[in-house]
Amino acid sequence: MKPISRFILSAVLLCGALTAAVPAQAAAAEALPATSLYQLPVKLSNQDGKAFRLSELRGKPVLVSMFYNSCEFVCPMLIDTMRMTQQALDQPSRDQLAMLLVTFDPARDDVKALHTIAHQRELDKQWTLARSDAASVRKLAASLDIQYRKLQDGQFNHTTVLVLLDGEGRVVGSTRKMGAVDPEFLQLLRTTVGVTAK
């Protein structure tokens, strides 16, 4: 069993490697870049019940992650970490950065539940809490290299990662550091927001 365990372990660790930084180019006119996640034909609804397509996020960089509401431990920390990261930016940069959380659990996290979280956690207007259909959730997670699995007790086991998309929906980088701001990631965030603002 040893070799197989090691293989799996290294595979899991490999997934954790920081995604190589891609320079954020100035927004091209119409066609999405070939590496843009916004090519995913995913429809979502936000915490106010408003429907939107992933591609409508085009224009601003987005800090994105996935979560589920009934999670007791890591998910609150995930939201905290996202917020800490957001607040490490100055106000003009914050205004340039969209925050997106998509639930793994559309069966339980309905619009009302998302609305409640946004309210309780006092998330500002940059934040979108979103749900989609189960198949789209799977596709989005695959694109973000997020693994998740529903357990028998209704909890989800998932990788916790913050992913930064540039204004065109390309992955610029990611961090798995939770509970504190990742300085390298913050630097990447500043660069990306700066590039988009110009």
Partner 1 sequence: MMRHRRIAGRQQAAAWLLAVSLAAAGGAVAGDTAQAVEYVAVPAGLLTSVLSGGSAGNLPVKVNPFAMRSEPVTNREFQAFLAAHPEWQRSEAPPIFVSPNYLRQFSGPESAAALARQPVTNVSWFAAQAYCESENARLPTWYEWEYVAAADERRRDARKDPAWRARILAWYAHPSSSHASIGGKANAYGVRDMHGLIWEWVDDFNALLVSADSRDQGDPEKLQYCGAGAISLQDRENFAVLMRVALLSALKGNDSTNDLGFRCVRNANKEEQ
What's the rounded Cα separation, in Å, for the pair 98 and 64? Answer: 8
Structure tokens of 118?
Answer: 């946004």
**36 or 128, CB closer to partner 1?**
36
> In whole angstroms, what separates CA 93 from the centre of its chain?
18
- Cβ 63 to partner 1 shortest distance, Å: 17
Q: Cβ distance 175 to 84 under 8 Å?
A: no
**10 or 197, CB closer to partner 1?**
10
Q: Cβ distance 155 to 52 under 8 Å?
A: no
Q: Tally Cβ neighbours within 10 Å of residue 135.
A: 9
**56 or 124, CB closer to partner 1?**
56
**Residues of this chain, 123-182, that bind partner 1 according to CB under 8 A:** 133-135, 138-139, 141-143, 145-153, 155-161, 176, 178-179
What's the rounded Cα separation, in Å, for the pair 130 and 62? Answer: 13
What's the rounded Cα separation, in Å, for the pair 158 and 146? Answer: 7
Contact between 71 and partner 1 by CB under 8 A: the answer reads yes
Contact between 25 and partner 1 by CB under 8 A: the answer reads no
Phi-psi region of 89 (alpha: psi -120 to 50; beta: other; left: phi over 0): beta
Q: Cβ distance 170 to 37 under 8 Å?
A: yes
| Upper half-sphere CA count for residue 91 (Cβ side, 13 Å) | 0
Contact between 20 and partner 1 by CB under 8 A: the answer reads no
Contact between 30 and partner 1 by CB under 8 A: the answer reads no
Name the segment binding partner 1 (CB under 8 A); options: 3-11, 53-61, 92-100, 120-128.
Answer: 3-11
What's the rounded Cα separation, in Å, for the pair 74 and 11? Answer: 22
**24 or 93, CB closer to partner 1?**
24
For partner 1, the binding residue among 21, 74, 89, 111 (CB under 8 A) is 74
| Interface mask toward partner 1 for 82-111; x: CB under 8 A | ------------------------xx----
Q: Cβ distance 194 to 94 under 8 Å?
A: no
Name the segment binding partner 1 (CB under 8 A); options: 52-60, 73-81, 119-127, 186-194.
Answer: 73-81
Q: What residue ranges bind partner 1 (CB under 8 A)?
A: 1, 4-5, 7-9, 11-14, 16, 34-37, 39-40, 67-68, 71-75, 77-78, 106-107, 133-135, 138-139, 141-143, 145-153, 155-161, 176, 178-179
